[in-house]
Amino acid sequence: MKNRLPPRRKRGGEGLVTASPFLLPSLIGLLVFSLLPLIISGLISLTDWNGLDRLTDPDFLQDHFVGLANYKSILTTPEFWNTLGNTMEYIVLYIPLMLAASLLVAYLLSRPHRGIGAFRVVYYIPVLTSWVAASLIWKSVLAPQYGAMNGILAWFGIQGPGWLLDEAWAMPAIVLVSVWKDMGFFGLILLSGVVGINKTYYEAADIDGAGGWTKFTRITLPLLTPSIFYVVIVAMINGFQLFPQVMIMTGGGPNGATQVMVERIYQYGFRYYRMGYAAAFSWILFVIIMVFTAIQMKGQERWVHYDS
């Protein structure tokens, strides 16, 4: 019997032609629903379009084109820098608290206790809750006079703050609500990282007499850094896109203390009918997110360990 030669691999061009019918639907979806809206948004950001005039009007660009005026106006107004400062305040408060809460959730859910599966479901329920419903409930809970939070504090003789009506407490209150809702999602991601750590490391540490804190800081945390890095990236992007809780709980108040980037985009686009200005605001936000993400991607080389 003659030895059969293995079939020749198709060249790159031939393989692409063979795969193109299968890739075409996804490619069309990418072009129509992702790339085309990006291009249109970029063009709109160079106009003073009000959102009502027809984009297909032959004289649209001639009547509405303003060049980079929207970008210049945004970057030279105090409102933008105050809004960016509020957004950064949220991120600086949110990420450490969320990370600590998620690590605690991951640690508790990784313990081999009876009924742990039920607890995992309970911790994840806030993630499944609509932001609209959750924000309305927490707005009631944080009401300064009749809210449950200040009622609980009053039991301990503590006078609660105004929360959402106080400039100093409005943003921390939104941060606490966001941590409550997101810690189940990020805790589940960190839990998968904890479960994936090779148990022989802990066995070797036990032989050496290492304590729980030593094992956590020398084994768990270093080997969990890839999961932590992913959580930080996603949390940072979510932080820059903060919107529903602000819109429902404070509306940007009090006195602009919770005005954030996406809230401003919504207000200019759908309340003030300045779509061109809002589109320019969106592109500035896009650049900011890309810059911070690139910094994180570059910085991971110093602290993320992919050895397992």
- Domain assignment of residue 32, yes or no: yes
What share of the chain has pLDDT > 90, as a percent?
A: 54
* 39/98 same-domain check: no
Predicted TM-score of the model (pTM): 0.87
* 251/176 same-domain check: yes
* 26/126 same-domain check: no
- Domain assignment of residue 211, yes or no: yes
**Region 57-84 average pLDDT:** 90
* 77/109 same-domain check: yes
**Number of structural domains found in the chain:** 2
Distance from chain centroid for Cα 5: 53
- Domain assignment of residue 291, yes or no: yes
Distance from chain centroid for Cα 173: 18
* 118/60 same-domain check: no
Q: Is the pLDDT of residue 196 over 70?
A: yes
* 101/209 same-domain check: yes
* 24/125 same-domain check: no
**Region 61-68 average pLDDT:** 87
- Domain assignment of residue 1, yes or no: no
* 151/217 same-domain check: yes
- Domain assignment of residue 2, yes or no: no
Distance CA 133, CA 177 (A): 12
- Domain assignment of residue 153, yes or no: yes
Q: Is the pLDDT of residue 308 over 60?
A: no
Q: Identify the three-state secondary structure at position 49.
A: coil
What's the CATH number where 128 sits?
A: 1.10.3720.10
Residue 194: give the domain boundaries: 69-303
Determine the pLDDT at residue 281: 95
Closest CA to 242 of 159, 170, 300: 170
pLDDT digits (tens, 9 = 90+) for 135-162: 999 999 999 888 899 999 999 888 889 9
Distance CA 213, CA 236 (A): 28
